[in-house]
Structure 1
Amino acid sequence: MTLEGVLDVTGAVLILLGAALALTAAIGLVRLPDVLNRMHAASKPQTLGFLLLCAGLALVLRDGSATAMLVLAAGLQLVTAPVATQMMAKAAHRTGQYRADLVVDERDEQGETR
């Protein structure tokens, strides 16, 4: 097998793994019970799936400008996903839209207000 064939197969495997993780994230967003659980499904498998998709596409396309665009997209994903997840968690905490049996709020125990 030639080097191009190995790169194509590796890229295809990475694309399939990335698509599977993105599908897992989508199913988690629909099926998980509350905001704090959905927050993990929205960030962790979705981000890793997107990074695997970008890596697989870079291996398959083997074009400098396409790879630069994929690296830019992956970098923006790594910057924005944690920030969006943190904002979702803060909004859920402020509005009380979480399962109280799963969360220990140390600020409420100390008498601090939200």
Structure 2
Amino acid sequence: MAVSVDVAQKDLLVVQNLKTYFPVRSGVFQRISAWVKAVDDVSFTVKEGETFGLVGESGCGKTTVSRSILRLIPSNEGTVFFDGQDVFNLRSNELKALRRNMQIVFQD
């Protein structure tokens, strides 16, 4: 008789309400006239041991989500926790160390 054991997996990556907007500038003084909402209120959780894929149409914000999570580009709102650490509040040297444990695999 096989016994199944439900092992609770801890949350490895938690993204909550992520928003990344880019300004549209116009006029002689290049003032911000509008915002492009590249990522608007994205949330998901990846548990330890899971494989996660972010899929969607071209231009829907997949790369922007990935770059925002790694803080390669700034986000406007939201939180990102990786292995319990608040990614958006890490100092430069802490972020560099954390990035060694994270990876983006692009479709190219």
- Which structure has the greater CA radius of gyration? 1
TM-score (norm 1): 0.27
Structure (1 or 2) with the greater strand fraction: 2
Structure (1 or 2) with the greater helix fraction: 1
TM-score (norm 2): 0.28
